[in-house]
Amino acid sequence: MNFNYYMPVRIFCGRDCLVKNADYISSFGKRAIVVTGKSSAKNGALADVASAFEKAGIKYCVFDRVMPNPTAENVREGGSAARRFGADFVVAAGGGSPMDAAKVIARLAKGDAEDVFSLGGAAAEDVLPMIHIPTTAGTGSEVTPYAILTDRVQETKRNVSSPAFFPRAAFLDGKYLRGIPHDTAVYTAIDAVSHAMEGMLSVRAGALSDTLAKESLHMISSEFSSLTADALTDEGRDRLLYAAALAGMVIANTGTCAVHSMGYSLTYEHGAPHGRANGLLLPDFLAVCEERSPERVGQILGAFGCKNAFGLKELFRPLLGGREQIGDDLLRKYAKRAAANKNISNCIVRFDEEDLFRVLKSAVGK
């Protein structure tokens, strides 16, 4: 059995785990910047951070201006807030957008950079320690070394990554997911499904990442009907949050494949939320993989309780709203862009530009 696996994040999981572990947080320093979005942390996470900081005698400021799909300008603004405050560490509370932004802000806290996309590979001593508190059950950013930022110059989303972007700790408490809009809950869960499935199709998949991916898929599948019926219990939210973290641990080691590469164009050009973009593309991507690697795709879909890629498409279809109808010219542009992404060579099934066009056409074509 050959594999190589790395995951340096301490995970606290359970009800009120943040406040119960205020002593642990006090070891991070005396001044913190809390990085969040407009509303995501105002469902209890921010109040718990304040209460833990009060217990631990930590001073803090809040940067609550992270936008969905954060841009370079957005994170630079957060970086200058961190420098002004003299933060010793960063707490991220929110979905993937605030958590990703916080990683780059933790680097910019040590000094500005005109080109934030050049910060991939940042050295550990140049990045402030981080604590992440997810409020969506999807991206798993709390356990990955990736920060996905919107690049307005290259007109796409780009991955800025460094082992130094792994947070030092993550706190998983499903109570923070209570106020989440239903469509966001569904899309983010589909994102986690995509991570687990793409991770299993990666050339870097191994026994350990497969175990995590299958467990993640089983757990999401067992909550899927409650999730889609908007009838999740607190235990169900806990399980989805845990499952999303497992899928994050998968991609932290395997990376993602063509679904994410293609999805960035649907988000950048058409405003599709990240998880919805993946949900539109994943079944058609798997249909091509199914033709070329039926046994592996059978294992993957089986772990989620589906017989084949068509079954997954039928399951997702009613959840994704009106499907985009994009013309061939644009789809060819997106296929070309996706083909240039290094995620493409990460898949055990080879996709050329024509294959990518085929997937895009069948998922969102006119």
Binding site for ligand NAP (CB under 6 A): 37-40, 43, 68-69, 94-98, 100, 135-136, 138-141, 144, 146-148, 157, 176-177, 179-180, 184, 188, 191, 274-275
3-state secondary structure of 139: coil
Determine if 100 is a binding residue for Zn ion (CB under 5 A).
Answer: no
Contact of residue 188 among ligand NAP, Zn ion, none (CB under 5-8 Å per partner type): ligand NAP
Residue showing the smallest CB distance to Zn ion in the complex: 191
Given a contact cutoff of 8 angstroms between Cβ atoms, the answer to whether 282 and 261 are in contact is no
H-only helix segments in the chain = 17-20, 22-26, 45-56, 72-85, 96-108, 182-200, 207-228, 234-254, 258-270, 274-292, 294-303, 309-316, 328-339, 353-364
Among residues 19 and 243, whose Cβ is nearest to Zn ion? 243
Contact of residue 144 among ligand NAP, Zn ion, none (CB under 5-8 Å per partner type): ligand NAP
Among residues 188 and 346, whose Cβ is nearest to ligand NAP? 188
Given a contact cutoff of 8 angstroms between Cβ atoms, the answer to whether 273 and 184 are in contact is yes
H-only helix segments in 201-308 = 207-228, 234-254, 258-270, 274-292, 294-303
Q: Which helix (H) or strand (E) holds 132?
A: strand 130-134
Minimum separation from the CB atom of position 260 to Zn ion (A): 6
Among residues 173 and 191, whose Cβ is nearest to Zn ion? 191
Given a contact cutoff of 8 angstroms between Cβ atoms, the answer to whether 312 and 301 are in contact is yes
Q: What are the tokens at 142? A: 């709390």
3-state helix, strand, coil in the chain (%, to 5): 55, 15, 30
Q: Which stretch binds Zn ion (CB under 5 A): 9-17, 97-105, 186-194, 213-221?
A: 186-194
Minimum separation from the CB atom of position 278 to ligand NAP (A): 9
Q: Which stretch binds Zn ion (CB under 5 A): 118-126, 190-198, 300-308, 323-331?
A: 190-198
Minimum separation from the CB atom of position 296 to ligand NAP (A): 22
Contact of residue 263 among Zn ion, ligand NAP, none (CB under 5-8 Å per partner type): none
Residue showing the smallest CB distance to ligand NAP in the complex: 37
For residue 269, which of 318, 338, 317, 319 has the smallest C-alpha distance?
338
Compute and round to an integer the Cα radius of gyration of the chain: 19
Given a contact cutoff of 8 angstroms between Cβ atoms, the answer to whether 119 and 104 are in contact is yes
Minimum separation from the CB atom of position 206 to ligand NAP (A): 19
Contact of residue 237 among ligand NAP, Zn ion, none (CB under 5-8 Å per partner type): none
Minimum separation from the CB atom of position 196 to ligand NAP (A): 12
Contact of residue 69 among ligand NAP, Zn ion, none (CB under 5-8 Å per partner type): ligand NAP
Q: How far apart are CA 151 and CA 268, in angstroms?
A: 9
Determine if 191 is a binding residue for Zn ion (CB under 5 A).
Answer: yes
